[in-house]
Structure 1
Amino acid sequence: MHDHVKLLAVGDATKDVFINIEEATVSCTLNTEACLLCLNYADKIPVKSVVQVRAAGNAANAAVGTRRLGHTSALLTILGDDDDGHELQEALRHEKVDHRFVQFDKKHATNYSTVLNFKGERTILIHHEPRTYCFPKKIPHADWVYYTTLGENHEPLEKGLLAYLKRHPNTKLLFNPGVFQLRRGRKALLPVLKRSTILIVNKHEAELLLEERQGHEMPNLLMRLRDLGSDIVIITDGPKGSCAFNGKEMWSLAVFPGKAKERTGAGDAYATGLVNGLVSKTSLPEAMRWGTANAWSVIRDIGPQKGLLDAAGMKKTLSKFLSIKAVRINHFAKR
């Protein structure tokens, strides 16, 4: 255990079950922006394979990914006081994640997700148990806080987190909001956004946060998101890669080539790789490569953690795709 950690991950943890299906169809609109996964109603659907991951969820993935890359990490979360919860804690212990701040809820079960994998893309059915969220008073100093998905009524924890960050002004904050945080709207999230060193969202989440319809160009989204207060804004866009803006320079990076087996955890892997790149004193464009390498490795297997890279794997992957670098976007609109 440590009195100082490189990264404190704050968010819900889940048990994930991955179900690989083949007998399904996908129905999309003409522009392919909105698609539906279709199964025969009231039928029995054969399943090709089932994989269980004991310790998943955005925060757990970040804590495990950071530890794999050789940095200390801790997880602040609430689990059910049940077999799944204690197995999840044991999985964290196995990964050498500091689990002192894992709390057990005697009234409610551990969160659970069922992930339907079809042709390399995933559809997630997630159940968040009701929680009484709070931020513990005794938390070690962290160089970075990774604040991500929580269930409803998480505002007391967020208030405690902001108080912690006020006491530790040198601690950097990466904010990767989840569904219930985004539903509160950008006005409610402004205190967190203004304290964030990095805001990282996918393109759909960016549009939700800005309360905009689809169709905006990436440079415009980046600039408008940064206006909300974060020092650096990152937007990921699946197979199209990622973009970043720090107020002075805007960068775009393609994905590394390869076939995706299952995409759950790609965003977590990217964010974890990126922040660990910055911890290791790389530049922002190179940190984007760290994130892309980690995501590339994760989607080559089932589940969000099996492919998370260690330090040697990161070095090898970055060398393998040395020719793929972030490109500066020179002509974005000035306002």
Structure 2
Amino acid sequence: MEKRVRVAAVGDNCMDCYDDLGQSFPGGNPVNVAVYIRRLGGEASYTGAVGSDSSGRRMIEAIAAKGVDTSHVKVLEGKTAVSHVRLVEGDRVFGEYEEGVLADFRLCPEDISYLCAHDLVVTGIWGMIEGDLPSIFKKVPVAFDFANKFASPIVDQAIPYVTYAFFSYDEESREDFAKRCCQLGLAEKAAEEEMLAGFMRAVQKLGPKVVIVTRGKAGSLAWDGSRLHCCGIVECEVVDTMGAGDSFIAGFLYGVLGGKSIPEAMRTGAENSAVTLGYSGAW
């Protein structure tokens, strides 16, 4: 009998507001991963905080409608987080971010016990729970999306307590990436892929079981401590890139938790991203 994958997503959420289009969609890194895990056939919960405004109600209702457990979503007095977005030739470009009540989001001991009852906990750089990772990591595997924030101090704080570490390498992150490589004592090389491979090897030695780097149209790389795995993209019509990276993370995690090899899980991630790229908004 096939194992039922059960993932706990915890951390930030936000309304993605496409100001030019006059549209808004519920989203946020861990929220998106939870929804995509459900889409793939797994079970998922989301733990986080929304405001007491209409956006908060809409967020909870939308997540629950996708079959995600929202029993541990806190409603705090104030405004739900908002990310302002523009679409430029299909690529989402982020503008101003309004953190709202997420600035006050904290886990309580009961939340941590609930999270640890799952097969895996997934969070990210804006999740506000890096201080709780040591307690969580003792009981359950942890996946963390560091996005393109290579030089963030959160990387140093979180990485020893992460099982699957995800990074996103793009034009915007080159300076941060170079700074982190310098901190790791890596010699600068001309070949981009060689530098990425060196970075992944160095980071993996700090704790993670697997380090994964997504590179947009260039596909993804994964280092498992003994081998560098490469995976291309699944060609598709791109309507909106919002949620594509989160879709890859969900597909990868769903794959490895279901017993797939690293290359197979990477392919599942790429296929899941292609689905999300075909419509507007994260989900």
TM-score, normalization: structure 1? 0.72
- Whether the aligned pair in 1 keeps the contact of 2:147 and 2:166 (CA below 8 Å) is no
Q: 1:181 to 1:242 in 2, by over 3 A?
A: closer
The residue that corresponds to 2:185 in the other structure is none
Matches of 1:64 and 1:263 in 2, distance apart? 16
The one of 243, 246, 249 equivalent to 2:227 is 249
Q: 1:203 to 1:294 in 2, by over 3 A?
A: same
The one of 193, 208, 224 equivalent to 2:176 is 208
The one of 227, 240, 246 equivalent to 1:268 is 246
- Whether the aligned pair in 1 keeps the contact of 2:144 and 2:164 (CA below 8 Å) is yes
Matches of 1:174 and 1:303 in 2, distance apart? 23
Structure number, greater radius of gyration? 1
The one of 233, 237, 255 equivalent to 1:259 is 237
The residue that corresponds to 1:111 in the other structure is 81
Cα-Cα RMSD: 2.4
Cα drift, residue 178 of structure 1: 5.2
The residue that corresponds to 1:193 in the other structure is 159
The residue that corresponds to 2:14 in the other structure is 14
The residue that corresponds to 1:27 in the other structure is none
Query: Are 2:152 and 1:183 equivalent residues in the alignment?
Result: yes
The residue that corresponds to 2:263 in the other structure is 285
CA offsets 1:168-206 (integer angstroms, 9 cap, x no match):
1xx11111125789632543x2xx312211101111458
Query: Are 2:118 and 1:142 equivalent residues in the alignment?
Result: yes
Mapping of residues 1-335 of structure 1, within 5 Å:
6-19=6-19, 47=20, 49-53=21-25, 55-106=26-77, 108-125=78-95, 126-129=97-100, 131-138=103-110, 139-140=113-114, 141-150=117-126, 154=128, 157-166=129-138, 168=139, 171-177=140-146, 183-184=152-153, 186-187=155-156, 189=157, 192-204=158-170, 208=176, 211-212=180-181, 216=192, 217=194, 218-305=196-283
- Whether the aligned pair in 1 keeps the contact of 2:14 and 2:80 (CA below 8 Å) is yes
- Whether the aligned pair in 2 keeps the contact of 1:51 and 1:302 (CA below 8 Å) is no
Q: 1:67 to 1:203 in 2, by over 3 A?
A: same
Cα drift, residue 248 of structure 1: 0.7
| 5+ residue gaps, structure 2 | 183-187
Q: 1:197 to 1:164 in 2, by over 3 A?
A: closer
Letter of the aligned partner of 1:116 in structure 2?
R
TM-score, normalization: structure 2? 0.84
Matches of 2:60 and 2:153 in 1, distance apart? 30
Indicate the SS of the match to 2:71.
coil
Letter of the aligned partner of 1:199 in structure 2?
A
Letter of the aligned partner of 1:280 in structure 2?
G
Q: 1:5 to 1:104 in 2, by over 3 A?
A: farther
- Whether the aligned pair in 2 keeps the contact of 1:234 and 1:242 (CA below 8 Å) is yes
Letter of the aligned partner of 2:16 in structure 1?
D
Matches of 1:82 and 1:244 in 2, distance apart? 41
- Whether the aligned pair in 2 keeps the contact of 1:206 and 1:235 (CA below 8 Å) is no
Letter of the aligned partner of 1:119 in structure 2?
E
- Whether the aligned pair in 2 keeps the contact of 1:93 and 1:99 (CA below 8 Å) is yes
- Whether the aligned pair in 2 keeps the contact of 1:266 and 1:296 (CA below 8 Å) is yes
> How many residues matched?
262
Percent sequence identity over aligned pairs: 24
Cα drift, residue 242 of structure 1: 0.3
| 5+ residue gaps, structure 1 | 20-46, 306-335
Indicate the SS of the match to 1:274.
helix
Cα drift, residue 269 of structure 1: 0.5
Letter of the aligned partner of 2:164 in structure 1?
I
Q: 1:197 to 1:257 in 2, by over 3 A?
A: same
Indicate the SS of the match to 1:142.
coil
Q: 1:13 to 1:274 in 2, by over 3 A?
A: same
Indicate the SS of the match to 1:101.
strand
Indicate the SS of the match to 1:68.
helix
The residue that corresponds to 1:330 in the other structure is none
Cα drift, residue 221 of structure 1: 2.4
Cα drift, residue 162 of structure 1: 2.3
Cα drift, residue 220 of structure 1: 1.9
